[in-house]
Structure 1
Amino acid sequence: MNILMIEDNQSVCEMMEMFFMKEEWKATFIQDGKVGLDTFKNDPEKWDLVTLDLNLPSMDGMQICREMRKVSKTIPIIMLTAKDSESDQVIGLEMGADDYVTKPFSPLTLIARIKALYRRADLINDGADELEGKAYEVETRYLKMDKRTREAILYDKPIEGLTPKEFELLYTLAKSPKQVFSREQLLTIVWDYEYFGDERTVDAHIKKLRQKIDKTGPQVVQTVWGVGYKYDDSGVTP
């Protein structure tokens, strides 16, 4: 794996460099926000994953995340923040981050998050042989989804700009139409590890997913109050 870590704390960089080496991952460390963004933009395909500090010189993590998403909708992004407030975490997710880790953090925790996020992103793009000759893995009344091409077609229109987590959320819900998924279930399935009850992560991603669905037609991701979410396009009229 080739990781771009944009982090202005030299001690954190040195600590994570040792752990990345242990995993036999390559890593580039940039301590300035704008330089980090330019490094990413110069060769977006070079990177498998980005970790991004919230507070950086010259450009903050929120701005960088937003700009990275304009270049790549699929690059996995983990935001690192010293702020343990709901608003910062939700805003970071809404800007396009796939996950966040609150400082101070255990290096092993970050390694586990990276592995889980990369594994999910890799699975989305994997399996071309398995899907050979199969146009869509998910096909409902109005929705079609193809993991090979990352296409999500709703009402005969593409849902534009889905991040890896948004795609996986919609895929999970639509694969079992009308089944209600609790937030805890979605955390386990989509994030592939326990979030210790942090349901805000699911809510923030559902909000962004719905905003993108709204551009194609009637809403199909429904809230089941007190329980969770479900996909249902049986009662809608485009």
Structure 2
Amino acid sequence: METSQQKILIVEDEQSIQKLLDFTLKQANYDTVLASDGEQAVELVLDEKPDLIILDLMLPKIDGMEVCKMLRMQDIETPIIMLTAKGEEADKIIGLEMGADDYMTKPFSPREVAARVKAVLRRTGERVKQTKEEILESGQLVVYPERFEVYLNKNQLEFTPKEFELLVYFMQHKNRVLTRDQLLQAVWNYDFAGDTRIVDVHVSHLREKIEENTRKPRYIKTMRGVGYKFGEQN
């Protein structure tokens, strides 16, 4: 898929930032759609079906956190990059828990915006382009990467795109110890400057969905001081 065919929904009420994002993404040959409040954002997601959403946290009418939650509850899996103000660490984590795939902290550079959007869309495109179906299995857990489907004990589970990518990577590297930095590079595809909390948050989400007992996980084992290892535990 060419970048000229890809559409980005920019949801930002501060006009100067909205204009910067719009200019930057148009320069990178993306189509853009603009929204200035959360209510308008939800309507445009349904009408325009964007390939990616850049979503500000603080918005009129419906805030960004609630927009993210509403979209995920409707099984809309469009990747979301959330914008947060400097120092809002708790909001970043909550945003990820609500289903955001990534976040950027204001102020940010146009180069950072373009790089992150490109990375997210590349991963999405690679998943769509898969032609040979691959089946990944571990115990009662079965994953179909091409179909974006996960089954546990024959029951289908729901995942955000980022959770799904992380699970697939784990299953493709079974019984190998993977550091948090390795997971950042492989799944997020750019340097988070050592901010490995994003990995821990998503691992926690995976465990809640695939583990019967999160205190004694069967599939994802924590390697203290190192990272994680995926593999069915006895």
Fold match, TM over 0.5? yes
Among 92, 98, 121, the alignment partner of 1:118 is 121
- Structure 1: state its 5+ residue gaps: none
Counterpart of 1:188? 185
> Counterparts of 2:177 and 2:76 in 1: how far apart (Å)?
27
Q: Does 1:49 align with 2:52?
A: yes
Query: Could you tell me which amino acid in structure 1 is paired with residue 145 of structure 2?
Result: K
Counterpart of 1:163? 160
CA RMSD of aligned residues (A): 1.8
Counterpart of 2:176? 179
Deviates more, 1:198-207 or 1:181-190: 198-207
Deviations 1:151-198 (A, max 9, x none): 1122322222x1111011111111121211111000000001111100
Among 59, 63, 66, the alignment partner of 2:66 is 63
Deviations 1:37-85 (A, max 9, x none): 2221345xx2100010000011111100000112234211000011423
Counterpart of 2:225? 226
> Counterparts of 2:164 and 2:65 in 1: how far apart (Å)?
21
Displacement of 1:33:
1.4
- Structure 2: state its 5+ residue gaps: 1-5
Kept after mapping to 1: 8 A contact 2:81/2:104 = yes
Instruction: Please identify runs of 4+ aligned residues in structure 1 that moved more than 3 A.
Output: 214-219
Displacement of 1:234:
4.0
SS in 2 for 1:230: strand
Equivalences, count = 227
Counterpart of 1:26? 31
Kept after mapping to 2: 8 A contact 1:210/1:219 = no
SS in 2 for 1:81: strand
SS in 1 for 2:183: helix
Displacement of 1:215:
6.6
The normalised TM-score by structure 2 is 0.91
Kept after mapping to 1: 8 A contact 2:180/2:227 = yes
Deviations 1:68-127 (A, max 9, x none): 112234211000011423211110000000000000110110110111111112222321
Query: Could you tell me which amino acid in structure 2 is paired with residue 109 of structure 1?
Result: E
